[in-house]
Homo-oligomer: A and B are copies of this chain.
């Protein structure tokens, strides 16, 4: 493949400049003020695919953000790889914790620092540049399609509908996604499982207006106190989630499978050190990788109420709020869990307050087979790039649309991620090592080649 490697080497500066242009578009899907940026990001992706050599590109309108489609067909007898990526990113606050402007990418110590540097502009863009490199060197071994969406961080609502309507267009043999992490810097991995998600917002209302906490304190239920009490009761003394029925559908992983998963390198000491914590925390009876890999969880992602400014204000607020998400494992149904949560949370509310529970979005968990052509091709490609065999890992994260692809299109996905846990995705100072960006661009053509080989055997 040295002809491709040469091409990549010669163009690596331009690849980076072009990625930076994409990153500079602040395409935060959860904030309506960024609506125009969503379109700009979609148009930039279309232009990128056109330039790279796609035969047919199109921006599909949806009820939400546009979807970019592109394809290059070389031979209907050869397999088709369908690439999925997303151009939307997470919000950037707390912005004061960033060391450089989130949408002004900067390279420091060999890493790109910016919102989206990894998730998923950096990782997604590798596919555009790998595709360009294969077309330019006339080494594309199979057919390829792209679908790039702008709602991954808010639940992929439009893409789900769009997939259901465009099954013929999206016909393919494997879906290829780079939106996950490697298990360690020198240990490549293929993600074989993803957790599902239910994301919910709750509002607790006490008195109809904010009250003076002296005059009323002690005699009127304070919605913050009540919310904290309700949240505290969502875990028991074994740190298990107390939502009624929450574990009913959880598949218990066999001891054999647990032993297999325990083979991935993991050091609890390094883990604690990298997060600067004295001890880990989680469901009693499971290891740290198991707690994120095979067990469901419930976290408060945000809480607010009352006075949060400088100094003191003696107030009992009328309302308190929280954003709560649950990560789910295979067999747990996202919508069912959201309903169980709603019923449980409402039942917790004492008579002195009212609660409103609003589901935001969700997605099913996913397990990907390791005895498939896709997995084997990924394994060979990663082994060639990194000089060492990749390990299968269960990620704690969620890409809800992956389960939808299987359901709607009947196609499995290969999760070929090049991120690192230290990339701080969703956090201030998100970053992505340049070496991983270029390793990805090199590995993807290898995947295409080995998948075509597996397929045509």
Mark A residues whose CB is within 8 Å of B: 29-32, 90-91, 93-94, 97, 153-155, 181, 195, 197, 199, 201, 206-222, 224-225, 227-229, 231-233, 235, 275-283, 288-289, 291-292, 295-297, 299-317, 320-323, 325, 327, 350-354, 360-361, 395-398, 421, 424-429
Q: Knowing A281-B350, A313-B91, A323-B312, say if A215 contacts B31 (CB, 8 Å).
A: no
CA distance A97 to B309 in the complex (A): 17
Least Cβ–Cβ distance between A94 and chain B, in angstroms: 8
Q: Knowing A309-B31, A352-B277, say if A315 contacts B301 (CB, 8 Å).
A: yes
- Are B91 and A225 neighbours in the complex by a CB distance under 8 Å? no
Q: Which residue of B lies closest to A194 (CB)?
A: B214
- Are A221 and B277 neighbours in the complex by a CB distance under 8 Å? yes
Partner of A301, one of B228, B307, B421: B307
- Are A300 and B228 neighbours in the complex by a CB distance under 8 Å? yes
Partner of A313, one of B228, B301, B352: B301
Q: Knowing A275-B207, A312-B30, say if A215 contacts B396 (CB, 8 Å).
A: yes
Contacts of A427 in B (CB 8 A): 209-212, 315
Instruction: Jot down 27 A-B pairs with beta carbons below 8 A, ordered by A.
Output: A30-B311, A91-B309, A199-B312, A199-B314, A207-B276, A210-B428, A211-B275, A212-B426, A214-B395, A214-B396, A214-B398, A215-B396, A217-B325, A218-B283, A218-B291, A219-B288, A220-B282, A221-B277, A222-B300, A224-B300, A278-B352, A280-B352, A301-B314, A302-B306, A304-B305, A312-B361, A313-B323
CA distance A221 to B304 in the complex (A): 19
Contacts of A212 in B (CB 8 A): 397, 425-427
Contacts of A231 in B (CB 8 A): 224-225, 228-229, 232
Contacts of A211 in B (CB 8 A): 275, 426-427
Contacts of A303 in B (CB 8 A): 224, 228, 303-306, 308, 320
Contacts of A153 in B (CB 8 A): 312-313
CA distance A299 to B181 in the complex (A): 43
CA distance A309 to B214 in the complex (A): 30
Partner of A316, one of B210, B228, B299: B299
Contacts of A424 in B (CB 8 A): 209-210
- Are B199 and A275 neighbours in the complex by a CB distance under 8 Å? no
- Are B304 and A217 neighbours in the complex by a CB distance under 8 Å? no
Contacts of A90 in B (CB 8 A): 313
Contacts of A395 in B (CB 8 A): 214-215
